[in-house]
A and B are shown apart, each in its own frame.
Chain A
């Protein structure tokens, strides 16, 4: 079928290839490093600017501050009606409630969808998938009216209660996918050993779901910590403001006068996300990969 190649060609081609692979690899590394630098430079610059004296923020695109102004941090920390730890605490309360809510409610629903048979399961599952894509903007006004009538506006409840009711359907889907990957023989063994459905869920499925639970917890942390829209709507009381709201208040009140302190607090706000990113990268990437493609 194929023609016999001349003896010289494959050799020279091989050498050429070898060389070009080396060169190409070098060029790729060069381009990638350049691209990575462009991507990450604004972040590094903001980090360095948070230590810079104010004039330098507007004149020096470099990364090394001439003098290290720790005062940006102390000033920023105390620039608002409350010291910044108050806002961090408020954010943490919402984050903790959301994580607990999502872990419990989403895993329960996921277990039912993945393992139990009941009427209308297919339809309910499809509805669940549909709600993942539903824009929050469509339901936010009646939700606001509902929570307002319950007297919950200016409390943390409107931000935590929906999580207790598994409204983050994305995580239900993530865990359904994960539980389906677990061998069904485990359930059968548990059943033979006398475990009911709750026993199987608590003692067999949940312990094996740890990676999916970790992914859920980390994503919930990052999304809730970053969340601005619903906090903006439900938390107007200055005592209940969270980190994103405090940053916005800071920006509006001091405007462009104290960028150093504003950057310092922005770095404080990004710190936990960065920490979770470093610690939980494995779970984040896996979470995307398992829900994306298995």
Chain B
């Protein structure tokens, strides 16, 4: 998918693994399909029907997803460049070790992800809790906060950001009103990444919607029970709301980490396509694009792609491992 932040999926407990009834183990065909024929015929008819319904997806899976994945892994051991390439073994991976721009891009991506995601989720959670109080006009506020997350990935917004944080941009105009002379934020190596982090935080709307839906799921009887036991507002928040919301916090965290490792458009546009100034916004994805589609070092770019996948996989796995210590699943879930 694109580097979009609106993608939201939370596998429900019952659907996270296999669908409810395991396929082959069902001993007899379901009665509703039986039309007086033998079981085997009906079951094979169902299988053929399934195959026909799944055929576009299966073809896509093989030709557009799994095939290219395998090819990409193979290419990462070659020096392929459009139409020509030879097996070079682990050379691409060895080259990574002393590639200062790669190291820089990993650093930039890591800072971006680990600063912007916690800030974004904190904003999302805070606003969700405030909006959950059922204030009048809640739907209006929700829309206003959600809108930026729909627009955030677009080129137009990145262009806007470039002006807003430019030397004579909106931010500096506002700062001038209070007598502060601002920098050219997007053109300063120390601040350019910061403007992208702010852009990411600005799109807190979609995790906020997920938090809101999660807050609705908390049965009011828990709050009533806590109240009866004498728990104040803060106590109820930290002892009821937060523990019951941890699965959703965890879900949002995993999703946003994965998304922000893949961010591309905003950094590309704000930096004019080069990840500058001084490589300060050179995301890993930008470096991959530069290697693969500007310099056509597709072998090396494939190796970078697998590095990206490995990083994402490792952090997702770490997240799941650490979730045991802080995510609270109800006893009956």
Residues of A within 8 A of B (CB): 25, 28-29, 31-32, 35-36, 39-40, 42-43, 45-46, 49, 57-61, 104-106, 108-109, 111-114, 116-129, 131-146, 148, 162, 164-168, 170, 172-174, 176-177, 180, 187-188, 191-192, 196-198, 201, 219, 222-223, 225-230, 232-233, 243-244, 247-248, 251-252, 256, 259, 262-263, 265-267, 269-270, 273-274, 277, 281, 284-285, 288-289, 291-294
Contact = CB atoms under 8 A, between A and B. Distances in A.
A219 B8 CA distance: 11
B209 A118 contact: no
B141 interface: yes
A165 B59 contact: yes
Contact of A263 (B11, B33, B160): B160
Contacts of B137: 29
B248 interface: yes
Nearest to A285: B209
Given A36-B141, A145-B71, A288-B8, 17 more contacts: A35-B127, A117-B21, A119-B24, A129-B9, A136-B2, A136-B262, A140-B68, A141-B301, A142-B72, A166-B60, A167-B64, A226-B153, A229-B264, A263-B159, A285-B142, A288-B210, A293-B210
Interface in B156-191: 156-157, 159-164, 166, 168, 170, 173-174, 177
B53 A197 contact: yes
A126 B57 contact: no
Contacts of B22: 121-122
Interface of A, secondary structure class, is helix
A116 B143 CA distance: 38
Nearest to A219: B6
Nearest to B252: A292
B217 interface: yes
B227 interface: no
Contact of B144 (A40, A131, A144, A232): A40
Interface residues on B, range: 35 or more
Nearest to A106: B57
A141 B302 contact: yes
A25 B60 contact: no
B50 interface: yes
Contacts of A243: 155
B308 A137 contact: yes
Interface in B282-325: 285, 288-289, 292-293, 298, 301-302, 305-306, 308-309, 312, 316
